[in-house]
Amino acid sequence: MIYGVAIVLMLICSGYTSPLYPHYIGVDSSIFLTIAKGMVNGKMPYVDLFDHKGPVFFSMEALGYFLGGRTGVFLFQCVLFCIDLFFIDRIARLFRSDFLTATAAFASLFFTLFQYGDLTEEFSTPLILSAMYFELKFLKSDKALHEPGFSFFYGIILGLLAFIRLNNAVIHCMLIFCIVLVLAGRKQYRNLVQNIHFGILGLAAVAIPVCLYYYMHGALYDMLYGTFLHNLGYTKNSSHISMLSNPLKYLLLFMPGICSLSVFLYKWKKEGGRVYVSLFFTTVLTYGLLVYTNAFRHYFMLGVPLFSAAAAVIGGETSLISALRPMKDRFLRKGKSKPYASYIVSSLLTAVTICYMAVSAFSVWEPVYWTYLSDRAFSEYSQIQTGVSIIPEEERGSVIAYNVQAGFYYHADILPCYRYFALQKWMTTERLNVSSIFMDYIKTSHPLWVITYAGESDEELLNILRGNYTPVFSDDQYLIYRYQAQKN
């Protein structure tokens, strides 16, 4: 029953892949879908089509695309979401809590923060939750030794997360560190060394095949650069959060973290226990890192597993009714006096859950409006189809766009002919001047078709186009140029 409801929610909320919204597409999702389509058609990520996400993520995306295009990716997302719910149930049972409470907390944040789906954080969540369950199970137990076999599993999870997006491994790494501290504190050095060895083996079980595959295809450096090195420049160029610019937005984004910290601190003070200490400092680190990133909403999905754990930890007290009833009894002078801390943290968690449910429900309005009420999504698709209809089928392998979103390629059903195929200005970092490299490519390789936005003002590009290309189509959105060698 619960998994059926989960699929219905995904169908409604995952705007960028759901069959309900066939022409609604996002910036990042269109890049990923384009790369997935390229992989299915024999192109190599990073070499033929570039983006700064990891090869495991692109492989997962390509698997979904292979199974059924955009809808195949959606079905893959449904499987991942069901895995999320399975481990949410396991974590709730670990703390003898109500599954529905933890699930409601998880789903409310998940569908608000995943920004219509198909992003690395969403694909990472099942991995984080699966490892988190076993890590919390050990930290909650009184076991003196940690089974090395689990560390092998942790190593695999770390490898997968690193080759999806390294930032997504923060919770996993912090909980591993807490286990290391526990073993070191108990002077279980032999067991600690065994676990480190098995963890390295698990990491190698992912890293070696991935690196070997790209090495055999002559693309090892390209993959490592796209997955890790490029992100150093991207992070350096990030505009860090200025909370005063939009305090209500940032209050909403950070409130689940504040709530989680309150729950873990309350349980730590009330009961002690290394599991609550570990969760508290993991939350501090996770949200501390989010302070120093771009304020993209989907980045805050990293805190969703922690908020779900907080809901599981607080147990039956997460119900707003159960939180208010003792306060009513105290007001009416019924029963014994009880501490207010549990009422406060459980009410806060419930309030955040309800707030995020409301935001999530409101967010669904956009793809519904674009698809069924205004027809904007289909109009955008039709406009692109009209433009590219002038490109002969045999020449569609030589089409490239400048600073245009990848949704153009998706709607046009065209695979770009150049690795830096979208948003070249945005992709540029101190390490890699993508715009300059693109200009050199246009000058020397002369792709047959070049597309720009109608208002493009880059003089270097326009001079190249004036010298070698003829405009053959224009509307209020796009200009399409055809290469004409005789213009030289």
Secondary structure of 105-159 in HEC code, one letter for each residue: HHHHHHHHHCCCCCCHHHHHHHHHHHHHHHHHHHHHCCCCCCCHHHHHHHHHHHH
Task: Judge residue 425's burial from the number of C-beta atoms within 10 Å of its C-beta, 0-12 exposed, 13-18 middle, 19 or more buried.
Answer: exposed
Contact criterion met (CB below 8 Å) for 161 and 55? no
Q: Whole-angstrom Cα distance, residue 279 to residue 262?
A: 11
Question: Phi, psi (5° rounding) for residue 471?
Answer: -70, 130
Q: Could you tell me the two tokens for 69?
A: 């295009």
Which of 136-145 are b and which e, b meaning 16 or more Cβ less than 10 Å from the residue's Cβ? bebbbeeeee
Q: Which residues pair with 478 in a beta bridge?
A: 453
Sequence-distant (≥ 6) Cβ neighbours of residue 303 within 8 angstroms: 109, 256, 257, 260, 283, 286, 287, 290
Question: What are 291-343's pLDDT values in tens digits?
Answer: 877 778 999 999 999 999 999 998 755 444 454 454 445 444 454 444 577 78
Place of tokens 């002690």: 272
For the stretch 371-381, pLDDT in tens is 999 989 999 99
Domain definitions of the chain by residue range = 2-367, 376-487
Distance between CA atoms of 73 and 75, rounded to whole angstroms?
5
The enclosing H or E element of 225 equals none
**Angle 312-115-17 from CA coordinates, rounded to 5°:** 110
Task: Please list the pLDDT of the chain residue by residue as tens digits (488 residues).
Answer: 788 999 999 999 999 999 999 999 999 999 999 999 999 999 999 999 999 999 999 999 999 999 999 999 999 999 999 999 999 999 999 999 888 999 999 999 999 999 999 999 999 999 999 999 999 999 999 898 999 999 999 999 999 999 999 999 999 999 999 999 999 999 999 999 999 999 999 999 999 999 999 999 999 999 999 999 888 777 666 655 666 677 888 899 999 999 999 999 999 998 888 999 999 999 999 999 888 777 789 999 999 999 999 999 987 554 444 544 544 454 444 544 445 777 888 889 999 999 999 999 999 999 999 999 998 999 999 999 999 999 999 999 999 999 999 999 999 999 999 999 999 998 888 788 999 999 999 999 999 999 999 989 999 999 999 999 999 999 999 999 999 976 55
Quote the CA–CA distance of 257 and 144 in Å, as a whole number.
31
In 3D space, the residue among 394, 391, 392 whose CA is nearest the CA of residue 451 turns out to be: 391
Q: How far is CA 264 from CA 87, 96, 278, 353, 476, in A?
A: 20, 16, 9, 17, 54
d(CA 260, CA 253): 13
Laid out side by side, the sheet with 449-453 consists of 399-401, 449-453, 478-483, 469-474
Q: Are the C-beta atoms of residues 88 and 99 closer than 8 Å to each other?
A: yes
Neighbour-count burial for 38-69, b at 16+ CB within 10 Å, e otherwise: bbbeebbbbebbbbbbbbbbbbbbbebbeeee
Please spell the DSSP secondary structure of 330-354, one letter per residue. HHTT-S----SHHHHHHHHHHHHHH
Number of residues written out for the chain: 488
Global confidence as pTM: 0.93
Task: Check residue 97 and give left, alpha or beta (phi > 0: left; psi -120 to 50: alpha).
Answer: beta
Question: What is the number of other CB atoms lying within 10 angstroms of the CB of residue 222?
Answer: 18
